[in-house]
Amino acid sequence: MLTQLSENLAFGGVHRRYRHSSTVLACDMVFAVFLPPQALAGAKVPVLYWLSGLTCTDENFMQKAGAQRVAAELGIAIVCPDTSPRGEGVPGDPDGAWDFGLGAGFYLNATQAPWSAHYRMHDYVVQELPALVEAALPVSDLRSISGHSMGGHGALVCALRNPGRYRAISAFSPITHPADVPWGEKAFSRYLGEDRATWAEWDASLLIAKAAEKLPLLVDQGSADSFLHSQLKPEALQAAAEAAGYPLTLRLQEGYDHSYYFIASFIEAHLRHHAAALGV
């Protein structure tokens, strides 16, 4: 059951925020949705699922990316979940760090206590949330997925692990090889344990070699991103895609950083990338 928290008109459509009780995450969750004017007129529209990065909530992308204008034109809904479980009883980083725990769910299914009781963002994004959205809102089961940074990692992994679920993938500044960078090593060792063999199931640069389908994949990366070489490593994804014959378009955007100014500059190209695959 959805509880509507707010509604704002935008480009002939509506932006709404909802709260619901998540069985998968064992807590209440909030997500945002933009419904284009076509949905309000009675059509069931396809959905782009957007996964945000570290420290974000459902609000960052919806307020800063400027995606609604083009989504309204194309007739695509956008669903933006939170980045982790929340609420009383949900553990966070014991030291209060921003790159683990609350706001940093890494879109995986944790196997280690105490995280495994709540941190199952992969199943939430791939299964529970779409089922809820498709049952309650005027959207179809045609899905696409995108994200930024940690959310770019999530988008890649969700699509690579679930053939037939999505029509296209894109990402801005994704953590492409989390098993080999500090952000990923910290999160994976706590959520999944110290056995690095288990980490491969959540690493796009390792998953792409055995991908069961080859979806159109667009990645934009800023050359002035301060995390480029230490945390993101797009060259790892590019090498893996080339070896697997995976259709990756990787664009290095000169002078752009890791911010939402970067995302806002190129979000239209990503929406049109998804629209082509979704047939709208």
Q: Any long-range contacts for 237-244 (C-beta under 8 Å, 24+ apart)? A: 237/156, 237/174, 237/176, 237/177, 237/204, 237/205, 237/208, 239/205, 240/204, 240/205, 240/206, 240/208, 240/209, 241/208, 241/217, 243/209, 244/208, 244/209, 244/211
Tell me the HSE value of 151 on the side-chain side, using a 13 A CA sphere. Answer: 28
Which SS3 state, helix, strand or coil, does residue 156 take? helix
Its sign, for the CA torsion 118, 142, 69, 42, is negative
Bridge-partner residues for 109, per DSSP? 120
Determine which one of 225, 270, 273, 274 is catalytic.
225
| Candidates 22, 84, 146, 149; catalytic one | 149
Known active-site residue 95: no
Cα gap 66→74, rounded to integer Å: 14
| Cβ–Cβ < 8 Å for 221, 249 | no
Torsion angle of alpha carbons 63, 69, 71, 72, nearest 10°?
A: 120
Q: For residues 22 and 85, is the Cβ–Cβ distance under 8 A?
A: yes
- Told to judge if 225 belongs to the known catalytic residues of this protein, a careful annotator would answer yes
DSSP 181-200: SHHHHHHHHHHT-S-GGGGG
For 10, other C-beta atoms within 10 Å of its C-beta total: 18
Catalytic residue chosen out of the listed positions 15, 153, 258, 274: 258
Is there a catalytic annotation at residue 153? no
Q: Which residues are catalytic?
A: 149, 225, 258
